[in-house]
Structure 1
Amino acid sequence: MNTSIGAPAEASVVAGVQFAIAAYAQALDADRTDDIAALFLPDGVAEIAGVATFEGREAIREGYAAFAPARPQLHLTANTVITSWTEDEATAVSNLAFFQRGESGWAVQLVGRYDDTLRRQDGTWRFQRRITTFLP
């Protein structure tokens, strides 16, 4: 497993990991809980630090349904670094900013980071574990 932050991951690993991360943000903002759950392995874990931990696709689907957006929202994910990888497993860290649209327009509601472990299954990268941490 390569763990050197200075060495870029293989292009196929980068593309697969970045697709999963972007697809998650798009599904979250569109309230597509089935799509969010499908981005995780069947035994995957979604942890929102200090809020909740959902284990398995059904729990993830149900858990995210409770967070249905009340108004338009946007998750921006940036500065993703793949911190270790093999052909079929990768870890990554990303920054996030969460915006909601209110009467005055779009405003940042919170910032945080994602710590991810992903595995390639049947050619598709899926989350084994995603930890969301909000920063003060």
Structure 2
Amino acid sequence: MSTSTEATAAAATQAAIGAYAQALDTGRTDDLAELFWPDGVAEIAGIGTFEGQEAIRKGYEAFAPTQPQLHLVANTVVTAVTEDEATAVSDLAYFQRGEAGWAVRMVGRYDDTLTRRDGVWRFQKRVTTFQP
């Protein structure tokens, strides 16, 4: 595999991860669902597993933000790349703004599989887990 293929997959992975956090924090569930393939899966520990774009959109609508929030994603490592698939792991910190200001509400991890179809990269599966 070429360095160019690896760089393209890594850039597409980073772009999808950033777009997901932005859409999640602003309650744009349609945009968030579009980041997944029609047969994509979003699995969130303690909340549920949503299969397909419509289920993902509806699932995320159930916890759309009611006050300012921010997901900071860091330490993303692309762990494997092929021509049409990339896997990555990332750390996350979830902040919410209340009367006392911003506070960390939880930390966790994303385990992602993205696939490329017709030159487009999207999430095939995203597993979200939280640290106690």
TM-score range, shorter chain: over 0.9
Identity rate, percent: 73
Q: Distance in 2 between matches of 1:72 and 1:132?
A: 21
User: Aligned-residue CA RMSD in angstroms?
Assistant: 1.2
Letter of the 2:37 counterpart: L
Counterpart in the other structure of 1:46: 42
Residues 1:101 and 2:103 aligned together:
no
Q: Distance in 2 between matches of 1:84 and 1:130?
A: 15
Q: Distance in 1 between matches of 2:6 and 2:73?
A: 21
Runs of 4+ in 1 over 3 A off after TM superposition: none
Deviation of 1:121 (Å):
2.0
Letter of the 2:76 counterpart: T
Counterpart in the other structure of 1:29: 25
TM, length-normalised to structure 2: 0.94
Counterpart in the other structure of 1:71: 67
TM, length-normalised to structure 1: 0.92
Letter of the 1:32 counterpart: R
Deviation of 1:120 (Å):
1.2
Counterpart in the other structure of 2:13: 17
Structure 2 runs not aligned, ≥5 long: none
CA-to-partner distance for each residue in 1:28-77, whole Å, 9 max, x for gaps? 00100000100001000000012200000000000000011110000000
Deviation of 1:11 (Å):
1.3
Structure 1 runs not aligned, ≥5 long: 2-8
